[in-house]
Amino acid sequence: MNHKAPPRKVISLTRRIAGKKAATEKRKRKIRKSHTRVIAVTSGKGGVGKSNIVANLGFVLSRSGKKVLILDADLGLGNLDVLLGLTPKYNLSHAITGSKTISEIVIEGPGNVKILPAPSGIQELSNLTDEQETRMFTALDLLIDSVDLFLIDTGAGISSNVMHFNSSAPEIMVVASPEPTSITDAYALMKVLSLDYSRKHFKLVVNLARSSREAFEVYKRLALVADRFLDIKIEYMGHVLIDENIKKGVRLQKVVSEIHPDAKASRCFAALAKKIFESRPSDVPEGDTNFFWRKLVRNGTRYE
């Protein structure tokens, strides 16, 4: 019995599909080679010193020989450049609109830290379109493989952009202070990430603590309520004590770890940096796949 050969169009289409699949798998294998630690540093409430922690951690880790890149992801209200006394000519808005590449907007901060500055006062960027988000994540994918640590300084709260960055990062570090409102908002943030984004592991840093005991009490309160009502694990990373030298650094637009390396806050930052690289990365999927790639694939986005 004779069988008709499949039409040429069918053969051509089959080959194209097979070619795309092979290219996708090749791209995935290449991306899995990335070993960059990616940590989103976030908070449920503003004013807890999150950006100061990011800046000091970046400085300490860079001085210890790590290649560090910081993304100011507080889109529309970026202030990391102001905190460090930097005056970037371009910022993330130029990369999102396509007028500049990501590599063209990177600037160097204290201690050779590389920084991706965010725009300030541009309300439209507080809610990115799918196309803008895809363009940004795709560009970031091409950059982070060259560093040891990628710190994302997110905005505060539970807005869509904050959730996008937190849900994408393999590691989430929550910053809280001993204030009751900060503790409540930190719990609310972890609750949303747990219930809506299936995140089960969080790191906690307590800032603006009067003592190590007070900081640990904050951790115990959060861990107790989380253990009772949420299926999550909170890993205590440490604390940063109240220190007038931090305020001096803010006024001088320099990190306290640079201008007062022996201050009590600076010693806290050094201990925190050490703890970060002693701790094992959490929530990292098999294959060590680049996190922005996973985000785009999960959303159904394609590079073709």
Q: How far apart are CA 128 and CA 161, in angstroms?
A: 8
User: 167 and 197 in contact (C-beta within 8 Å)?
Assistant: yes
Residue type, 68: V
Q: How far apart are CA 203 and CA 123, in angstroms?
A: 30
Q: What is the mean pLDDT of residues 255-260?
A: 96
Which H helix or E strand runs over 11?
Answer: helix 8-31
* Torsion sign (Cα): 259, 270, 168, 302: positive
How many Cα atoms within 13 Å fall on the side-chain side of residue 137? Answer: 25
Domain chopping of the chain, boundaries: 35-295
Q: How many CB atoms lie within 10 A of CB 154?
A: 27
Q: How far apart are CA 156 and CA 293, in angstroms?
A: 24
| Least-confidence region, from 51-55, 132-136, 297-301 | 297-301
At 283 the pLDDT is 53
Q: What SS3 state is found at 209?
A: strand
Whether the per-residue pLDDT at 22 is higher than 90: the answer is no
At 121 the pLDDT is 52
At 129 the pLDDT is 72
At 73 the pLDDT is 86
User: 168 and 152 in contact (C-beta within 8 Å)?
Assistant: no
Q: What is the mean pLDDT of residues 61-67?
A: 94
What's the gap between Cα 160 and its chain centre?
14
At 31 the pLDDT is 43
User: 203 and 237 in contact (C-beta within 8 Å)?
Assistant: yes
Percentage of the chain lying above the pLDDT 70 cut: 78
Query: For residue 217, which of 246, 252, 176 has the smallest C-alpha distance?
Result: 176
CA-to-CA dists, residue 33 to 27, 29, 288, 303, angstroms: 10, 7, 7, 19
At 8 the pLDDT is 57
Whether the per-residue pLDDT at 5 is higher than 80: the answer is no
At 304 the pLDDT is 31
Range from 138-147, 173-182, 278-287 that averages highest in pLDDT = 173-182
CATH of 35-295, one of 3.40.50.620, 3.40.630.10, 3.40.718.10, 3.40.50.300: 3.40.50.300
Q: How confident is the model at residue 7 (pLDDT cuts 50, 70, 90)?
A: low
Q: What is the mean pLDDT of residues 52-77?
A: 91
Whether the per-residue pLDDT at 301 is higher than 60: the answer is no
Whether the per-residue pLDDT at 147 is higher than 80: the answer is yes
Percentage of the chain lying above the pLDDT 90 cut: 55
Q: What is the pTM of this model?
A: 0.81
